[in-house]
Structure 1
Amino acid sequence: MLDISDFRDNANVIKADHDKRGLPHDNINEVIRLDEEWRKAVYEQSLARKERNDTAKLISEAKKLGNNDEMKKLLSNVKSLGKKIDELDKFANELKESRDLIRMSIPNVLHDDVPKGDDEEGNTLHSEHGNKPSFSFEPRTHNELLEMNNWAELPRAAKITGSRFYFLKGDLARLEMALQSYSVDFMTRKNFTLMHPPTMMNRKAYEGVTDLADFETVMYGVEPDGYYMIATSEHPLTAMFMDEIIEPSLLPIKLVGVSPCFRREVGAHGQSDKGIWRVHQFTKIEQIIISLPEKSWEHHEDMLENCIDLWNSLNIHYRVVNICTGDMGTVASKKYDLEAWLPGPNEFKEIVSCSNCTDYQANRLKMRYRTPEGNSTVHTLNSTAVATSRALVAIMEQNQLEDGRIKIPEVLQPYMNGQKILQPAPF
Structure 2
Amino acid sequence: MKQRNILISGLSLVLMTSVSSVAMAQCTATGTAAGFAPQYAPFAVGGALNTLVSSINAANTAFLTQSTAFVGSPANPKPDQEGGGIWARGIGGEINTKNTVSSTYALGGNGSTFQPVATPLTGGVNCNTTTNLQFAGTQVGTDMARLNWNGWNVHMGSMAGYLGARARDTTAATPGINAGGSLSNSLEVPFVGAYAAATYGSFFIDGQIRWDFYQNTINDPIQNGLFNQKIDARGLAFTANAGYNFQLGNNWFIEPSAGIVISQVKVDPLRATGTLLLTGAGSIPNTTTFSNIESYLARLSVRVGTTIVSDKMIWQPFVTASVYHDFAGAAKAAYSESNNPAFEALSFPLIQGNLTANNLGTYGQFALGIAGQVAGTGWLGYLRADYRTGDRIEGYSLNGGLRYQFTPDML
Q: TM-score, normalised by structure 1?
A: 0.22
Question: TM-score w.r.t. structure 2 length?
Answer: 0.23
Larger Rg: 1
